[in-house]
Amino acid sequence: MKIAEIIKRIPEIKVRKGDAFLDINYIWADTRKLSPNDIFVLPEGQAENYPKFIESAKNLGVHSILVSSSQLKIPGIEGFTNILEAEGYVGDVHGKIASLLSGNPSKKLKLVGITGTNGKTSLTFILFHIASTLGKKCGLIGTVHIRILDKILETGYTTPDSSSLNLILKDMVDAGVEYVFIEMSSHGLKLGRTSGLELQGAAFTNLTQDHLDFHSTMEDYLDSKFKLFQILESSSLTNKFGIVASDVPGGDLMITKLIAAELKSPIYLMGNSGEFNYSHTKLSLTGSEFRLHRKEKDVPFIEVRKVKTNLLGNFNIFNVSLAAFISFELGLPWENILHSIESIPTVPGRFQVIPSSDNSRIAVIDYAHTPDALENILKSCKEILPKQLICLFGCGGDRDRTKRPMMARIAEEYSDFVILTSDNPRTEDPKSILGEVESGFSRGFRRYETVVDRRSAIEQGISMLEKDGILVVAGKGHETYQIIGKTKTDFNDYEEVKKAFQNWEKDR
């Protein structure tokens, strides 16, 4: 496609220098993927490497570069034959160009974006299960992996960069996929990775403290999440919709922003005052029972249905309920949806239960790495009424430090015993991280132990676990590595817990 045609479709671009009739193949911020007829974009947040990236692009024979007005004076930019200037944020323009040059694949799909601090992964997995069970061809993009029908691909980010994302969506179209469920992280939304997508649906789960190392303020974090609904608003698809969980942390803030924005897209609420809700929850170690409330459109009454699912915990009741309502708004048959949620495959690293061989005690693996997520998992375990609840967790290095003492206070409140251990310390000293976590315990609290080595900590937790007790192993979930310094080594909580149970059973 010629530059002139791109500008005609995306008027936020203007030619500062060069030939508007040059043919363009694609757009990349990754120099390893560039070809001469591509547009190069400087990757966000890597200013110290810009001279090296610019030189690499030129050596590859790349003629065109997209920059913001503030980047025009970066040394080396003037050496490109074509300089395109983006009005506004260059990441958003990058996303729109990637979508255009890949053939607008999202427009050919029913794409549902999910955002929120917690619950994104579980929700997308449940949605994939519901739609697949009902015979739909589905794709999934998120933290654990990318899935195209039955094909699994690994991913390095919750939300891939916009160039990669649109090519993934194109592959899904080519594979015959109809429905795609995608996690939209605050990073991805803020950096423009999802800009230019045509959404069928959007959903917000909650907003609690996380990623303040990236966002700096909760207001910026909220603004980034809100961008999902701005993308929905710009979508040209018919029957598009949004669903916001209202009775959750951050729900009122999101609703306030939506009201102020006066969006024309239909936005429904899940909560006490919303079109959708759930109630009468009943928890056990074998499953969960609850009721779903759905207001009939144009009819002054509410349908209430008693349902059950094999998934455990109040937060999973929330996830299953929201997934059911999203599926309904996508036009899937309500009765079939209710039947499909009775048996849902366990989401990797999300309330993943590992019992001892005699089922006398269990461990629960969960990705909970924020204060809110840790509280949710511990409360859900507490509601099952175990005779003992042990919480094992740590906090990541080179990440938001303010949440460390907060998580300690939560673990103290809900647990009978706490084991502090390493969780991707990265370049920080693991003992220093755990010292900051310990500072959150109340004065005189002694029901905890610090075991820096995570494998040893898991072994200790299993050895301490009493009959009818629960060990929560929080923080890593589906991850299959531990990052110490800048080295990533193999480590899998699920496998380590299984080994610890086997060793304990041999020795007792």
The tens place of each residue's pLDDT in the chain, 508 residues long, gives: 999 999 999 999 999 999 999 999 999 999 999 999 999 999 877 889 999 999 999 999 999 999 998 899 899 999 999 999 999 889 999 999 999 999 999 999 999 999 998 889 999 999 999 999 999 999 999 988 999 999 999 876 667 899 999 999 999 999 999 999 999 988 889 888 999 999 999 999 999 866 666 657 888 889 889 999 999 999 999 999 999 999 999 999 999 999 999 999 999 999 998 999 999 999 887 889 999 999 877 666 788 999 999 998 888 999 999 999 999 999 999 999 999 999 999 888 888 999 999 999 999 999 999 998 899 899 989 988 899 999 999 999 999 899 999 999 999 999 999 999 999 999 999 999 999 999 999 999 999 999 999 999 999 999 999 999 999 999 999 899 999 999 999 999 999 999 999 999 988 7
pLDDT reported for residue 204 = 97
Burial of 44 (0-12, 13-18, 19+ CB in 10 A): middle
Please tell me the distance from the alpha carbon of residue 508 to that of residue 496, in angstroms, as a whole number.
18
Backbone CA torsion sign across 454, 458, 463, 464: positive
Task: Compute how many other C-beta atoms are within 10 angstroms of the C-beta atom of residue 40.
Answer: 24
Q: Which of 308, 309, 305, 248 is nearest to 115 (CA)?
A: 248
pLDDT tens per residue across span 42-100: 987 788 999 999 999 999 999 999 999 889 989 999 999 999 999 988 999 999 999 99
The torsion angle over the Cα atoms of residues 305, 309, 313 and 319, rounded to 10 degrees, is: -70
Which CATH number is 352-507 given?
Answer: 3.90.190.20
Residue 120 labeled ligand binder: yes
Domain with CATH 3.90.190.20 in the chain: 352-507
* 425 annotated as ligand-binding: yes
Residue 294: closest CA among 258, 266, 263, 268: 268
349/363 Cα distance (integer angstroms): 12
Coil, strand or helix at 11: coil
Q: Say if residue 31 carries a ligand binding annotation.
A: yes
Give the closest residue to 292 by CA, choosing from 238, 233, 334, 241.
334
- Residue 479 marked as a ligand binder: yes
DSSP code of residue 43: P
Contact (Cβ atoms closer than 8 angstroms) between residue 91 and residue 97 = no
Q: Is 102 annotated as a binding residue?
A: no
Q: Is 70 annotated as a binding residue?
A: no
> Binding residue per annotation — 360?
no
What class has domain 104-340?
Answer: alpha beta
What is residue 46's predicted lDDT score, i.e. its pLDDT?
84
Nearest to 307 by CA among 347, 343, 350: 343
pLDDT value of residue 213: 64
| Range(s) within the chain of domains with CATH label 3.40.1390.10 | 3-100
- pTM assigned to the model: 0.84
- pLDDT value of position 144: 87
Residue 492 labeled ligand binder: no
137 among the known binding-site residues? Answer: no
Output the pLDDT for position 159.
79
Determine if residue 382 is labeled as part of a ligand binding site: no
Question: What confidence score (pLDDT) does residue 211 get?
Answer: 61
| 122 marked ligand binding residue | yes
* Separation in Å, CA 92 to CA 27, 87, 137, 162, 215: 13, 10, 29, 9, 17
Angstrom CA distances, 332 to 135, 325, 473, stand at 10, 10, 36
- b or e along 219-248 (b: 16 or more beta carbons within 10 Å of the residue's beta carbon)? eebbbbbbbbbbbbbebeeeebbbbbbbeb
Q: Which two tokens stand for residue 104?
A: 């607008």
φ, ψ for residue 113, nearest 5 deg: -100, 135
Would you call 73 exposed, middle or buried from its count of C-beta atoms within 10 A (0-12, 13-18, 19+)? exposed
pLDDT of residue 129: 98
CATH number listed for the domain at residues 3-100: 3.40.1390.10
Residue 119 counted as an annotated binding residue: yes
pLDDT of residue 242: 98
Please state, in angstroms and rounded to a whole number, the distance separating the CA atoms of residues 193 and 399.
22
- N- to C-terminal Cα separation, the chain: 70
Q: Is 159 annotated as a binding residue?
A: yes
Q: What angle do CA 449, 472, 458 make, to 5 degrees?
A: 55
Is 116 known as a binding-site position?
A: yes
- The span from the CA of 417 to the CA of 390, in Å, is 5
